[in-house]
A and B are shown apart, each in its own frame.
Chain A
C-alpha cells in the first residue's frame, strides 16, 4: 500500500470516527430532551398538586372558622408561614401557612424534586398584579420545583432549571 493509499485510509477512518461521534452527540441530545420532558411532566404534576393542596385551605387564619369583610383582620405579611401549633403539613389550615414551605418528593420512575412555596399578598397596580405587604383579599402562591435532574441543556454551560407555578387566590363568599 502506497503512502497516498494509507493516507486516504486514515482519512476515511477519521471521517468515520467523526460521523460516529456526531451521531452519538445527536442521539444523546435527543435523549436529554426526552428525559427533560419526562421530568417536567413529573414536576408539573407536583407543582399543580401543591397549588391544589393550598387551594383547599382557608384563605386566612381569620377565615378558617368565620368570614371577614375587613382586610385589616387578615394575617400580616411578615407573619406568613406555619403557625406555632402547626408543626406538620397535615395541621396547616390556611393558604399562607405554606409560606417558606419546602418538601422533597419523588414520583415513581422519576427524579427527586424539591418543592418550595412562597405566599404574598398581591394588588393591582395599573395593568399589573404586583406583590405587596399591605393586607388584601388576594394572595399569590408561587411554587418552585427544582431537581438535580432538571437542567436546561439549551444554554451553554447547562444551567439548573426551575419550574415555577403561580396562582392567585382571592377571598370571596357566597351562598
Chain B
C-alpha cells in the first residue's frame, strides 16, 4: 500500500467522520426541537382546554333552568377571592342539556404548588373543580398562575376576598400554563430552580356572566 493510498484513506475517513458528526448533531438538534414543539403544543392545548372549561362554567354563573330557584342574581356568587370562587349554577344532565332545574354549586380553586411536587416543574398547581359537595379532585394541567379579579358595576376593582359578592359584575381571569416536565432547553442553560418551562398565557379581561347583569 503506497503512501498516496494511506493519505486517501485518512482523508476519506476524516470526511466520513465529519459527515457522521454533522448527521448526529442534526439528529440531536432535530429531536430536541421536535420535543420542544410537542411540549409547547401540549401547553397550548392544556391552556385552551382550561379556558374553554372556565368560560363555559363562568358564563353560567347564576343560571338555573328553573329561574324561581334563584330569584335574586346577586346571590349567585357565594364566595370569591383571588384564587377561589364558589357560585350557583345548574349543571347539564344527559336527559336535559339545559339542566335539571335544581341549583348546583360549583367551586374553582388552585391548590399550593407543593401539592404537585411529583412533577419536575416546581411551579405547577392542581386546579380543582368541585361540583356540589363532591370530594375535591385536582387535575394537573400545568396551571402555574390562576388569578381572579372582581369588578363592580362602576368598573372599580373589589378587594379580595370579596366581602359582598353581590357587588360583582365582571371578572378578570389570568391563567398561565407551563409544561409539567420539559424545560425549554433551547432557551439556554438555567439552574434547576430557574428552569425555563414552556408556557402559554391567557388573560380574559372582563368576563361577564349574563345572569349577574340580570338585576
**Residues of B within 8 Å of A, CB-based: how many?**
37
Residue B159 at the chain A interface, CB threshold 8 Å: no
Partner of A56, one of B12, B41, B51, B206: B206
A71 to B138, CA, bound (A): 50
Q: Is A69 an interface residue (CB 8 A)?
A: no
B202–A45 CB distance below 8 A: yes
A49 adjacent to B19 (CB under 8 Å): no
Whether B199 lies near A34 (C-beta < 8 A) is no
Total contacting residues, chain A, CB less than 8 A:
32
Bound-complex Cα distance A79 to B21 (A): 69
Across the interface, which residues of B come within 8 angstroms of A27, CB to CB?
29-30, 33
Select which of A23, A49, A55 is within 8 A of B203 by beta carbon: A49
B192 beta carbon closer than 8 Å to chain A: no
Q: Mark B30-66, 1 if CB is under 8 A from A, else 0.
A: 1001100100110010011001000000000000000
- In the assembled complex, the Cα of A92 lies from the Cα of B200 at a distance in Å of 31
Q: A72: CB under 8 A from chain B?
A: no
- A 47-93 contacts with B by CB, 8 A: 48-50, 52-53, 55-56, 90
Nearest-CB distance from B188 to chain A (Å)?
Answer: 15
Query: Which residues of chain B come closer than 8 Å to A109, judged between CB atoms?
Result: 199-201
Residues on A with beta carbons closer than 8 Å to the beta carbon of B26: 19-20, 23
Give chain B nearest CB distance to A75 CB in angstroms. Answer: 21
Q: Could you tell me the distance between the alpha carbons of A13 and B37 in the complex, rounded to whole angstroms? A: 29
Known: A30-B33, A41-B48. A107 touches B203 (CB 8 A): yes
A41: contacting residue among B30, B47, B169, B208, CB under 8 A: B47
